[in-house]
């Protein structure tokens, strides 16, 4: 019998069947979210054990995604906890790649010049999907800054001529896609884009300045998935935010999803309401656009890509976790939630 069949029998026969608590817990740990929902409704005893199992599973998936648990989760009803587990499992399942500028996640190459920073030749994908990024030559390797955001929080520094590329994805990724990046930029620059000059554009940048812009040297943040090579995207397929490239750290969230596309900076939605284009993503070029024209001047601490339109609740929690990790302050992280996360992490 399957675990669910045993539980269903137990629920129907009541005292006629006894299951050891450890055996029952083991069975529940191997059930799907849907079956956990059914189990929680069988009886009070099953419900209490199901809550324990769901809580353990939820903590595990949150830890794997570096999301701090909030104390109020302990007050959630069983069905609410199960639904939340389902949401976070979905995020974990749809993680495509995850770069974090930790010493353990980069391969460093020493400079020949004394006291010069080491360079990064390879950025490991800590999602486990093996979508690592590499530099094509020593001259293109970004610098490694071990304390760019304070002690223990590293970043890769891009000086206007450096970039990394992933291998081509096995199959180009269709929209929707959610891209989260912790970065700072200055000038008319690209943070990341698709892979090669033959690729469709899939860009997050500070660029395509409008003629009416009063600060052409620090363009607003933009995202687009339209056009290719040196031909600029149609403005009709360009989402433009308010944040300018003034060399300040931000949490960027770009959701590419046709007419449901959204651009969030530090937890504030800065642009939405129209399509950014229908391009697919064949791989990721970090620190440069796909035509090797606009290079990043700035730094990147973290890059995360998901093959889904992330729900608002999960997006807000991930943004808040990133902000807390790097000492930033997204609007979506209210003072109370920041205090709760800090308390949970201490």
Do 123 and 105 lie in a common domain? yes
Do 83 and 200 lie in a common domain? no
Do 136 and 82 lie in a common domain? no
Do 105 and 200 lie in a common domain? yes
* Domain stops at, among 58, 93, 128: 93
223 bridge partner residues: 204, 239
Do 9 and 101 lie in a common domain? no
pLDDT at 78: 53
Q: Are 108 and 118 in contact (CB under 8 A)?
A: yes
Q: What's the farthest any 2 CA atoms get from each other in the chain?
A: 79
Domain that holds residue 17: 3-93
Going by C-beta distance under 8 Å and a sequence separation of 6 or more, which residues neighbour residue 215?
A: 244
pLDDT at 346: 44
Each residue's pLDDT tens digit, 273-289: 999 999 999 999 999 99
Residues of the chain with pLDDT under 70: 1-50, 69-79, 112-115, 210-216, 229-230, 330-346
* Domain stops at, among 37, 60, 93: 93
pLDDT at 31: 60
Beta-strand runs (E) in 186-329: 189-193, 203-206, 220-224, 239-244, 250-256, 262-265, 268-272, 285-286, 297-306
* Domain stops at, among 41, 66, 93: 93
Do 150 and 13 lie in a common domain? no
pLDDT at 186: 95
Do 157 and 70 lie in a common domain? no
pLDDT at 85: 85
Do 118 and 51 lie in a common domain? no
Do 329 and 312 lie in a common domain? yes
Do 154 and 209 lie in a common domain? yes
DSSP string of 31-60, one letter each residue:
S-HHHHHHHHTT-HHHHHHHHHHHHHHHHH
Number of domains into which the chain is organized: 2
Do 193 and 282 lie in a common domain? yes
Do 73 and 126 lie in a common domain? no
Q: Are 284 and 97 in contact (CB under 8 A)?
A: yes
DSSP string of 140-196, one letter each residue:
GPPEEETTBTBTT--EEEEESS--EEEPPPSSPBPSPEEEEEEEEEBSSEEEEE-SS
CA atoms of 145 and 101, how far apart (whole Å): 9
């Amino acid at each position: 019998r399957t675990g669910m069949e045993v539980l269903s029998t137990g629920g129907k026969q009541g005292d006629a069947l006894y299951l050891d608590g450890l055996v029952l817990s083991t069975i529940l740990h191997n059930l799907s979210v849907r079956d956990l929902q059914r189990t929680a409704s069988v009886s009070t005893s099953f419900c209490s054990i199901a809550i324990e199992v769901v809580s353990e599973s939820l903590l595990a998936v949150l830890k794997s995604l570096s999301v701090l648990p909030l104390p109020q989760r302990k007050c959630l009803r069983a069905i609410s906890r199960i639904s939340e587990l389902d949401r976070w499992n979905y995020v974990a399942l749809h993680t495509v790649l995850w770069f974090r500028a930790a010493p353990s996640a980069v391969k460093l190459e020493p400079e020949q010049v004394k006291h010069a920073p080491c360079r990064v030749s390879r950025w490991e994908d800590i999602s486990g999907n093996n979508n690592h990024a590499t530099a094509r030559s020593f001259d293109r390797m970004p610098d490694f800054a071990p304390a760019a955001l304070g002690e223990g929080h590293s970043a890769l520094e891009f000086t206007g001529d450096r970039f990394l590329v992933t291998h081509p994805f096995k199959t180009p990724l269709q929209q929707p896609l959610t891209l989260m990046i912790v970065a700072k930029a200055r000038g008319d620059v690209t943070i990341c884009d698709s892979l090669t000059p033959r690729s469709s554009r899939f860009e997050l940048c500070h660029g395509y300045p409008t003629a009416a812009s009063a600060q052409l040297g620090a363009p607003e943040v933009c995202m687009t998935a339209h056009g290719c090579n040196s031909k600029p995207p149609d403005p009709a397929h360009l989402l433009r935010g308010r944040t300018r490239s003034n060399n300040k750290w931000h949490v960027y969230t770009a959701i590419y999803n046709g007419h449901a596309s959204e651009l969030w900076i530090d937890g504030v939605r800065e642009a939405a309401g129209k399509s950014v284009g229908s391009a697919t993503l064949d791989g990721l070029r970090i620190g440069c656009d796909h035509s090797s024209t606009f290079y990043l001047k700035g730094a990147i601490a973290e890059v995360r890509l998901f093959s889904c339109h992330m729900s608002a609740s999960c997006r807000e929690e991930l943004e808040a976790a990133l902000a807390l990790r790097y000492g930033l302050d997204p609007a979506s992280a209210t003072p109370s939630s920041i205090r709760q996360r800090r308390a949970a992490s201490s």
